[in-house]
Amino acid sequence: MDVVARHLATIDRLRTRDLPAGGAGHHTVELETGHGPGPAADDLHALRESIAQRLAAHWGEAPPWGQLTLRLRLARGEDIPEPWATLCLRTDELDVWQAGTLWLAIGVADRDESDETRLLATVTRTAPP
C-alpha cells in the first residue's frame, strides 16, 4: 500500500471513530512527522497536496483555508472553538471538507521552528468559524 493510500485509510478510520461525548468533540492524529524545516516540510506539504487531491475526488474540491484570519481573531480575544483554535496556531492553511455531520481537515503543522513538522488530520463535529 502506498503512503497516500495508507493515510487515506487512517482518515477513514478516524471518521468512523466515536467522538468524545459532550460538546463538539474532535480527534486529531499525526499522519506523518518530518524533522526540521526545509526538505522535510516540503515533503509533507507535497504529501498533504496528494492526499487533498484524492479526498477532493471523493468529497469535492475544497480550496485551502488560510489560518491568518483565525490567528488575528484569537489575538483580539475572540473565542475560537476547538479544534480550530489549535489548528490555526499550528498550521498556515488547511484543506477542509464537510462529510455529512462531520468536518475533515488536513494540514501541515510547521509554524514552530523548534518542533518537528507534522502532517495532521482532524475530524470534528464543529464547523470552522
Q: Give the pLDDT confidence of 66-77 residue by residue, as tens digits.
A: 999 999 999 999
pLDDT for residue 108 is more than 90: yes
> CA–CA separation, 77 vs 39, rounded Å?
35
Nearest in space to 43 (alpha carbons), one of 34, 56, 30, 31: 34
Indicate if the pLDDT at residue 11 is higher than 70.
Answer: yes
Q: What's the angle, vertex CA 47, arms to CA 1 and CA 104, rounded to 5? A: 90
Q: Tell me what percent of the residues of the chain surpass a pLDDT of 90.
A: 64
What's the pTM value of the predicted model, to 2 decimals? 0.89
Report the distance separating Cα 91 and Cα 109, nearest Å.
5
Per-residue pLDDT at 113: 79
Concatenating the DSSP letter of every residue in 54-77 gives HHHHHH-----EESHHHHHHHHTT
Contact 115, 105 (CB under 8 A): no
- What does residue 29 show for φ and ψ, rounded to 5 degrees? -125, 155
Q: What is the mean pLDDT of the chain?
A: 89
Provide the pLDDT for residue 51: 96
